[in-house]
Amino acid sequence: MMLYKATKNILLTAFALAVIVPSSIVVLGSFKKDVEIYTKPLALPKSWSLENFRNLIHTGNVFTPFKNSVIVAVFSVFFTLLFASLAAYAISRMTTVTGRFLFILFSLGLAIPGQVNIIPIYHLFVKLHLTNSLLGLILVNIALTLPISIFILTSFFKDIPKEMYEVAGIDGAGHLRIYRSIALPLSRPAMGATGIFLFVICWNDLLYPLMLITQLDKKTLPLTLIDFRGEFATSYSMLFTAIMVASVPMVVMYIAMQRSFVAGLTAGAVKG
């Protein structure tokens, strides 16, 4: 019993440290000079200087990608949720075989990894002049995340008791009104969780931006971070500062909306 408790506590502490130590190195490192990071990565900075942040802003290359990432993530999530919830509502309310057919069609997207489409998407986007375009990234994100979103939301809409719809239907409300005034309000927790899940995916995506974006002024944060590796081969202070900037929105959201965050990210895993 004692042995069990001791092992348990050691293991739990070990993994907690495995998370806390690297995170602390990054946070502390963003206030340090390179040498200090290499020699004493875990010590408190000699002075809490904001110089790295100032340098990052001065060299310029972080505000634009931040703005681009926000634009891409916000629009991608908004339109995915809009299109997915409309389609999921329609599928859950259809009485003919059409609904079943649509559901299976969208579910196919869960079986084909989105990564395999990089080559045709690239050539299609070259033709449509959608490379080096935030609109292009948004369109790809919507297409890639629609299947999982429709899957999650359809199962949610199907769980809404029929009576709730029927009451509204008797009043002569059309589908659009039922969708807006009954389905949407009821599904707010599910939409919120799905939205967070989608936001994390879009915010962190590397593969498609890597392939579609080469212009500096169109780069998103993950691309910029990758560039830091090359540009500042040894400057971990700048890299850690950039990682801080890139992670802050996620961390703030995580702290503020922890429950929906965890729910969203695990629902995405379970359903996907």
Partner 1 sequence: MGPLSGTLAKFRGRTKESKLLIAMAVPAFAVYSFLYLYPAIQNLAYSFERWDGVTKPEFVGLHNFTYLATNDDLFRKIVGNNIRFTLLVVIFQTAFSLLFATFLLKNTKTTIFLRVIYFFPTILSSVSVGLIWTFLYNPNFGFLNASLKAIGLDNFALNWLGDTKYSLYAIAVTQVWFHTGQMVIIYVAGLQQIPADLYEAAEVDGATRWQQFKNITWPMALPTTAVVVAYTTIQSFRAFDLVYSMTQGGPLNSSDLIVTSIYNTAFSSFKYGYASAQSIVLIVVVLLVTWLQRRTLRIDYGVK
For partner 1, give the closer residue by CB, 211 or 216. Answer: 211
- The token pair that represents 18 in the structure block: 């495995």
Residue 26 CB neighbour total at 10 angstroms:
17
d(CA 271, CA 219): 31
CB closer to partner 1, 198 vs 239: 239
In whole angstroms, the minimum distance from the beta carbon of 120 to partner 1 comes to 4
* Polymer length in residues for the chain: 272
How many Å apart are CA 268 and CA 272, to the nearest integer? Answer: 6
Tokens, residue 55: 């340098």
Least CB distance from residue 74 to partner 1, whole Å? 16
List all residues 6 or more positions away from 271 whose beta carbon is below 8 Å from its beta carbon.
148, 151, 152, 155
Query: Which of residues 167 and 248 has its CB atom nearest to partner 1 in the complex?
Result: 248
**Identity of the residue, 71 or 226, whose beta carbon is nearer to partner 1 in the bound complex:** 226
CB of 169 to partner 1, least distance (A): 11
> Whose Cβ is closer to partner 1: residue 64's or residue 261's?
261
CA distance 69 to 129: 20
In the complex with partner 1, which residue's Cβ is closer, 64 or 117? Answer: 117
For residues 170 and 270, which CB has a smaller minimum distance to partner 1 in the complex? 270
Write down the least CB distance from residue 212 to partner 1, Å: 11
Closest distance to partner 1 from the beta carbon of 158 (Å): 14
Is 182 within 8 Å of 117 (Cβ atoms)? no
Answer positive or negative: Cα dihedral of 92, 98, 103, 109. negative
Cβ of residue 209: shortest distance to partner 1, in angstroms?
10
Alpha helices, H only, the chain: 2-29, 34-39, 51-59, 63-93, 97-111, 118-127, 134-159, 162-170, 175-178, 184-186, 188-204, 207-212, 221-231, 236-256, 258-271
Query: Is the separation of the CB atoms in 118 and 207 below 8 Å?
Result: yes
Q: Nearest approach, Cβ of 206 to partner 1 (angstroms)? A: 5
